[in-house]
Amino acid sequence: MADIKHHTVRTNGIHLHVAEAGQGPLVLLLHGWPESWYSWRHQLHALAEAGYRAVAPDIRGYGRSDKPEPVEAYSMKHLMGDAVGLLDALGEQTAVVVGHDWGSAMAWNCAALHPDRFRAVVGMSVPHLGRAPMPPTQLFERMFGEKWFYILYFQTPGVAEAEFEADVPKTVRTIFAGTPGFDVTASAVQAKKKGDRFLTGLDTPATLPDWLTEEDLAYFASEFSRSGFRGSLNRYRNMDRDWQELPELATATIKQPALFIIGEKDPVRAFSPVDAMKALVPNLEDILVVPGAGHWIQQERASEVNAALLAFLKKLPA
- Widest CA span in the chain: 53
Active site residue 295: yes
The DSSP code for 59 is P
- Out of 31, 45, 100, 295, the active site residue is 295
Residue 225 CA to residue 236 CA, distance in Å, equals 20
Active site residue 78: no
Residue 54 CA to residue 26 CA, distance in Å, equals 6
Angle between helix 214-227 and 168-177 (nearest 10): 130
Residue 80 CA to residue 63 CA, distance in Å, equals 18
- Out of 58, 66, 82, 101, the active site residue is 101
Residue 287: what are its φ and ψ, rounded to 5°?
-110, 100
Where in the chain does DSSP place strands (E)?
A: 5-11, 14-21, 26-30, 53-57, 95-100, 118-124, 258-263, 284-290
Residue 206 CA to residue 212 CA, distance in Å, equals 12
Task: Please say whether the beta carbons of 282 and 255 come within 8 A.
Answer: yes
Residue 37: what are its φ and ψ, rounded to 5°?
-50, -30
Closest CA to 296 of 272, 258, 249, 261: 261
Secondary structure class of 186 (helix, strand, coil): coil
Which residue numbers are catalytic? Answer: 101, 295
